[in-house]
């Protein structure tokens, strides 16, 4: 048994099927080094590469990465432009290896708001991996949960107005089916790097019962070891979903 297996073999519970990450702290990482913020974003791409690989290798089925929020459009134009360039370049560079690793790219968010050439790069990446059956990599770009919920409500209202949907029949499954994550399990685990303890408009519906993990590590410094430690921490938690601990234990045995 390798050291790594020893370190990460303590866990009792099930591994998370779906991990969502708020990748925060790139700007502070750069500032600590007297560099411009975009250097932090560029370094953050390496963390995306490494974490996608480890998630894929350890059997996570869905990895949902918050890369650019609706609110991030309000940043200085220069930073937004650099981020857009970086997203286009990263997807072009990463697609061959993602495909080789059987990773399926899915785009979540108001993608039409991105520059057209970046949209084309993203679409090429999505298309190249559409038959891949391994890790589902959800890239959230120009995404916010309230954007997604407004879109979902409009869609349900449209169906109700057309007589396709009985409003009285709306249930959780109906709402799930009109979200960008339709057909996917909810995140079991939500990680936020960078030390802030907030959700910043990410997956508000889907994280209703997710386990939360906040780490002070800045995203460019976030690596495989810490990710695996967090998965171990997750496995040690008891998810009760409103029931008592005794009920949960008797259901497991």
Catalytic machinery residues: 24, 72
Which of 24, 39, 186, 188 binds Mg ion (CB under 5 A)? It is: 24
The answer to whether 70 contacts ligand IPE (rule: CB under 6 A) is no
Q: How far apart are CA 172 and CA 187, in angstroms?
A: 16
Site for ligand IPE in 182-221 (CB under 6 A): 194, 196, 198, 200, 219
HEC secondary structure over the chain: CCHHHHHCCCCCCCCCCEEEEECCCHHHHHHHCCCCHHHHHHHHHHHHHHHHHHHHHCCCCEEEEEEEECHHHHCCHHHHHHHHHHHHHHHHHHHHHHHHCCCEEEEECCHHHCCHHHHHHHHHHHHHCCCCCCCEEEEEEEECHHHHHHHHHHHHHHHHHCCCCCHHHCCHHHHHHCCCCCCCCCCCEEEECCCCCCCCCCCCCCCCCCEEEECCCCHHHCCHHHHHHHHHHHHCCCCCCCCCHHHHHHHHC
Pick the piece of the chain touching ligand IPE (CB under 6 A) from 16-24, 52-60, 157-165, 171-179: 16-24
How many residues sit close enough to ligand IPE to count as binding (CB under 6 A)? 19
| The entry of Mg ion, ligand IPE, none that residue 28 binds, CB within 5 to 8 Å by partner kind | ligand IPE
Which of 17, 35, 72, 93 binds ligand IPE (CB under 6 A)? It is: 72
Which of 16, 19, 20, 25 binds ligand IPE (CB under 6 A)? It is: 25
Residue nearest to Mg ion (CB): 24
C-beta of 59 vs 216, nearer to ligand IPE: 216
The answer to whether 35 contacts ligand IPE (rule: CB under 6 A) is no
Closest CA to 17 of 66, 59, 70: 59
Pick the piece of the chain touching ligand IPE (CB under 6 A) from 67-75, 129-137, 147-155, 177-185: 67-75
Six token digits for residue 52: 């996608």
C-beta of 193 vs 210, nearer to Mg ion: 193
Question: What is the smallest separation between the CB atom of 24 and ligand IPE, expressed in angstroms?
Answer: 5
Question: What is the smallest separation between the CB atom of 123 and ligand IPE, expressed in angstroms?
Answer: 20
Tell me which residues touch ligand IPE (CB under 6 A): 22-28, 66-69, 71-72, 83, 194, 196, 198, 200, 219
Interface with Mg ion by CB under 5 A: which residues?
Answer: 24
């Amino acid at each position: 048994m390798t050291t790594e297996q020893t370190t990460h073999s303590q866990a009792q519970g099930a591994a998370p099927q779906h991990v969502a990450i708020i990748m925060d702290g790139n700007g502070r990482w750069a500032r600590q080094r007297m560099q411009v913020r975009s250097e932090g974003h560029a370094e953050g791409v390496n963390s995306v590469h490494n974490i996608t690989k480890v998630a894929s290798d350890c059997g996570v089925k869905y990895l949902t990465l918050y890369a650019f929020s609706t609110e991030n459009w309000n940043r200085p134009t220069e930073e937004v432009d650099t981020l857009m360039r970086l997203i286009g370049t990263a997807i072009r560079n990463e697609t061959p290896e993602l495909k080789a690793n059987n990773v399926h790219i899915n785009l979540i968010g108001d993608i039409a708001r991105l520059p057209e050439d970046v949209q084309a790069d993203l679409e090429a990446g999505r298309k190249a991996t559409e038959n891949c059956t391994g890790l589902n990599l959800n890239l959230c770009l120009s995404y916010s949960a309230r954007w997604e919920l407004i879109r979902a409500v409009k869609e349900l209202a449209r169906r109700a107005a057309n007589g396709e949907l009985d409003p009285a029949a709306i249930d959780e499954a109906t709402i799930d089916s009109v979200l960008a994550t339709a057909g996917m399990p909810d995140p079991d685990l939500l990680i936020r790097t960078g030390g802030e303890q907030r959700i910043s408009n990410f997956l508000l519906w889907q994280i209703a019962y997710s386990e939360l993990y906040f780490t002070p590590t800045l995203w460019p410094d976030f690596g495989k070891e810490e990710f695996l430690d967090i998965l171990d921490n997750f496995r040690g938690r008891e998810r009760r979903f409103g029931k008592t601990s005794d009920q949960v234990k008797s259901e497991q045995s």
